[in-house]
Amino acid sequence: MLLPILRSQAQGAVLAQLYLHPDTEYSLTDLARILRTSVATIHHEVQRLTEGGLVTSRRVGNVRLVSADTTHRLTRPLTDLLAATYGPLPVMADLLAPVADVDEAFIYGSWAARYQGQPGPVPVDLDVVVVGSVDLDVLDDIERAARDRLGFEVNIQRVSPEAWNAGDDPFLAHVQSQPIVTINDSKPTT
């Protein structure tokens, strides 16, 4: 796990999504979609976090909206800790979402391995592969922005869809054979 002091991977992912987007309210359905888990799992984690005072919750009709409780005295240190551990997925999703010509994007390497439960030291950098024809200068800007937000080195590789799917490049074959985490759009739909 990325932060073994947390009860579960889902708890870390929920906290990161909420604390790294402190001005956004999410429905439980949005969180489940963004974090690729069940609404029941999200409900359980949000309930525990609400009871612990880290998350605020309100109802609008039948929809339960949740957000980070930014008045909590642990907000700043918790946000910093979440950015350094669970932050890469929501941060990269935010930075890549508005960029044209990105077909797919993945995190690979040590961060992906920890995210998927493989034991090891806390990652000191982030490796990302972007599939598409996005301009390299744009990716350089995203690297810098991600590094500023996360506080550690970010390395982005661009590959064409043909190269990603061909399976004949040794580097890409290695990346695809190791743990990878898909980066998706983290914006709520409601």
The whole-chain average pLDDT of the chain stands at 91
- How far apart (Å, rounded) are the C-alpha atoms in residues 125 and 3? 15
- Dihedral sign from CA coordinates of 176, 177, 182, 183: negative
The neighbour count for residue 66, using CB atoms within 10 Å, is 26
pLDDT at residue 2 greater than cutoff 60: no
pLDDT at 3: 53
pLDDT at 7: 75
**9-86 sits in which CATH class?**
mainly alpha
Domain 89-182 has CATH 3.30.460.10: yes
pLDDT at residue 190 greater than cutoff 50: no
Local confidence band at 119 (pLDDT 50, 70, 90 cut-offs): confident
pLDDT in tens, 137-182: 999 999 999 999 998 999 999 999 999 999 899 999 999 999 999 9
DSSP letters of 101-115? TEEEEEEESHHHHHH
Closest CA to 8 of 139, 115, 137: 115
Local confidence band at 1 (pLDDT 50, 70, 90 cut-offs): low
Domain layout of the chain by residue ranges = 9-86, 89-182
